[in-house]
Amino acid sequence: MGKVNGLIPDERLTRLSNDEVLRYSRHLLLPEIGVDGQERLKAAKVLIVGTGGLGAPLALYLAAAGIGTLGIVDFDVVEESNLQRQVIHSVRDVGRPKVASARDRIKGINPLVNVVTYNTRLSSANALDIIGSYDIVADGTDNYPTRYLVNDACVLLGKPNVYGSIFQFEGQVSVFYAKEGPCYRCLYPEPPPPGLVPSCAEGGVLGVLPGIVGCIQANEVIKLVVRPQVETGQSPNTSQTLSGRLLLFDAWNTRFRELKLDKDPACPICGDHPAIHTLIDYEEFCGLKRSEDETVEIITAMELKKRLDAGDKFQLIDIREPHERAIAQFPGAKPIPLGQMVRRIDEFDPVIDVVFLCKIGQRSVFAIRALREAGYTGRLLNLKDGLAAWAREVDNSLLMY
């Protein structure tokens, strides 16, 4: 093997066993991978952040491809609503930690893979220690604080970050590797305002979309691992990663587009004069922390039920979108979608308490903030944990989604 400067040092490579030659024979027949590339896959250590929609295909295909060590980070448990797209989990896994379910499935596909699980939330306190042990990070998260955290940790540690994101019918994939090109902050210097972009739990996602995007991410990981062998000239073709390119996929219309990304010289972490030299508070950076003088008053489902039964009068405002209300309606609630809140402020009576209803109680916080900033002086209440809590604690005939 020629001496190369790749992600996987030559001294970590070990020969394939007879069983491995048989298992990975279809890779070995590809001159772009061959024995050298498969040995690099065996020696590689890849961390997958999140074992949900994107993490599922990432883990399945990287395990099948022969990645030697797969780390998986997730603090969540499997829920029934996950099974529509998170194909690494099954019905019998509902209620289990996702990392445990994913580990079992990975081992079922390829028992040769060393699986390291982290049943914890990735944070500024542990990210450098966890990520530092791996060659590549594959970001399968669904929130902005963790995306910025993963990006910054990878830049500080000099690791490639294989990024993917999904929403409804649209997906994005890129490789952020500050040594060679732009990072995530070069594309998105600032996060969007809180509440502007709903989560998949609130906005929905086509089930097959994360499978497509996650598989593209897995492809990028594999290319990054075997690329040193390609660069030696042993392969007739050269591989090009998505570093410096953003791949956009529209599943509803089956269209791919590509945008060129340039490194931002003014980027605060990978630019010419970086200002960020350590991990920060990403909840605060993304505007998700409440200031001390900003308290959102809540009412629990049981409290609301008791007061309604006692005859107390409320303005019940359902801020969900029409297609959500078509699934489940709250009796007596007035529909005012979140985006219409401020321009319909005259429809509120400041004398009567307002209770905002949404799916899980997150969008209601943004509705309260918007009305306060618009000068509304009446009392505003957020139904804690939203209609999901009402269905769980008060009325289980209310369909939840």
pLDDT tens column, 253-287: 999 999 999 999 999 999 999 999 999 999 999 88
Among 154, 183, 267, 358, the one annotated catalytic: 358
Q: Are 382 and 364 in contact (CB under 8 A)?
A: yes
User: Coil, strand, or helix at residue 209?
Assistant: helix
Alpha-carbon dihedral angle through residues 264, 267, 270, 273, given to the nearest 10 degrees: 110
CATH 3.40.50.720 holds for 10-285? yes
The answer to whether the Cα torsion of 281, 131, 71, 144 is positive or negative is positive
Among 154, 186, 200, 215, the one annotated catalytic: 200
Instruction: Provide the pLDDT for residue 294.
Output: 56
Number of other residues whose CB lies within 10 A of the CB of residue 77: 17
Q: Which phi and psi angles does 189 have, rounded to 5°?
A: -60, -35
Categorize the per-residue pLDDT at 236 as very low, low, confident or very high, splitting at 50, 70 and 90. very low
User: Coil, strand, or helix at residue 296?
Assistant: coil
Q: Are 244 and 181 in contact (CB under 8 A)?
A: yes
Where in the chain are the domains? 10-285, 298-393
CA distance 255 to 264: 28
CATH 3.40.920.10 holds for 298-393? no
Query: DSSP characters for 63-76?
Result: HHHT-SEEEEE---
Instruction: Provide the pLDDT for residue 195.
Output: 67
Q: Is 215 an annotated catalytic residue? A: no
User: What letter represents residue 353's amino acid?
Assistant: D
Instruction: Considering only residues 33 and 197, tell me which one the structure prediction assigns the higher pLDDT.
Output: 33
Give pLDDT tens digits for 333-355. Answer: 999 998 899 999 999 999 999 99
Sheet architecture: strand order including 245-250:
114-118, 69-73, 45-49, 136-139, 161-167, 170-176, 245-250, 255-260
Mean pLDDT over 356-363 rounds to 92
Q: Which of 2-16, 21-35, 68-82 has the lowest mean pLDDT?
A: 2-16
CA distance 391 to 345: 28
The packing angle between helices 386-393 and 301-309, to 10°, is: 70
Instruction: Provide the pLDDT for residue 292.
Output: 43
Mean pLDDT across the chain, nearest whole number? Answer: 92
Same topology between domain 10-285 and domain 298-393: no
Categorize the per-residue pLDDT at 302 as very low, low, confident or very high, splitting at 50, 70 and 90. very high
Q: Which phi and psi angles does 161 have, rounded to 5°?
A: -120, 110
Number of other residues whose CB lies within 10 A of the CB of residue 323: 8
Q: Are 195 and 41 in contact (CB under 8 A)?
A: no
Query: CB within 8 A of 314, min separation 6: which ones?
Result: 304, 307, 308, 352, 353, 354, 355, 381
Length of the chain: 401
Categorize the per-residue pLDDT at 193 as very low, low, confident or very high, splitting at 50, 70 and 90. confident
Q: Is 286 an annotated catalytic residue? A: no
Terminal Cα distance for the chain, rounded: 54
Q: Which of 4-18, 151-165, 278-292, 366-380 has the lowest mean pLDDT?
A: 278-292
